[in-house]
Structure 1
Amino acid sequence: MFRISKEFHFSASHQLEHLPADHQCARLHGHNYIVVVELAAVGLNPDGFVRDYHDLAALKDHIDRDFDHRHLNDVLACPATAEHLAHYFYHWARERWPEVAAASVSETPKTWAEYRP
């Protein structure tokens, strides 16, 4: 199996209002997010790629337009957790590229959430 991944960055705020008031994530705060999309294929295309990285520019455009420097509570219909973001980016990318195997989201250098069906 061949696997490739590409990393994307954005900054945004969120507030997990469903948490107790004394929980730090219940307060308005922000992160410098990292999104990694992984693609996998048994074989390579005629150019020798799983998928040309250039094809993934549409995800960068989507992130820059709809997520960067936004309040994620206004962007997502569900709580703006890293887990929900990973799920969202997986499905968004999978609709466009069938090789998508997983999406991961980091809020801090030490924390990651991944969605992989």
Structure 2
Amino acid sequence: MYRITKEFHFSASHQLSSLPGDHPCARLHGHNYVVEVELSAPELNEHGFVRDYRELTVLKAYIDGSFDHRHLNDVLGHDRVTAECLARHFYEWCRARLPETSAVRVSETAKTWAEYRP
């Protein structure tokens, strides 16, 4: 199996209001997010690619236009805006447009990652 990945960055706020009031994530706060999309294929296309990296600019445009410098609770319309939920959201969005999508990872900090891989 061949695998490629590409990384995207955005900054946004969120609030996990279902957590106890003394939990730091219950307060409004922000992160510099990193989204890593992975595409896989058993064979390469006629150009020797899983997919041309340039074709992933659709994800960059989506992130820049809908997520960057936004409040994620408003963007996604719910209060469960965790890295795990974001990973699944971006996976489903990518999979609908890039069928080779095999996983998406989201980081809120340099030391933490959440991944969605069906």
The bucket for the TM-score relative to the shorter chain is over 0.9
Number of residue pairs aligned between Structure 1 and Structure 2: 117
Q: Which runs of 4+ in 1 moved over 6 A?
A: none
Structure-1 separation of matches of 2:53 and 2:70? 26
| Aligned-residue CA RMSD (Å) | 0.5
| Deviations 1:85-115 (CA, angstroms, capped at 9, x unpaired) | 0000000000001100000000000000000
Give the Cα–Cα distance (whole angstroms) in 1 for the partners of residues 112 and 25 of structure 2.
14
- More deviation, 25-34/73-82: 73-82
Q: How does 1:11-30 map to 2 (within 5 A)?
A: 11-30=11-30
TM-superposed deviation, 1:47:
0.4
Q: How far does the alpha carbon of each residue in 1:33-87 deviate from its partner, in whole angstroms, 9 at most, with x for none?
A: 0000000000000000000000000000000000000000101134110000000
Residues 46-61 of structure 1 mapped to structure 2, 5 A cutoff: 46-61=46-61
Structure-1 separation of matches of 2:73 and 2:97: 25
1:3-59 deviations in whole A, cap 9, x for unaligned?
000000000000001110000000010000000000000000000000000000000
Q: Counterpart of 2:76 in 1: which secondary structure?
A: coil
Structure 2 unaligned spans of 5+ = none
Cα distance in 2 for residues equivalent to 1:113 and 1:23: 20
* Letter in structure 1 aligned against 2:14: H
Query: Quick check: 1:82 aligned with 2:78?
Result: no
> What is the SS of the residue equivalent to 2:93?
helix
TM-score (norm 2): 0.98
Q: Which residue of 1 aligns with 2:100?
A: 99
TM-score (norm 1): 0.99
Percent identical pairs in the alignment equals 68
3-state SS of 2:108 partner: strand
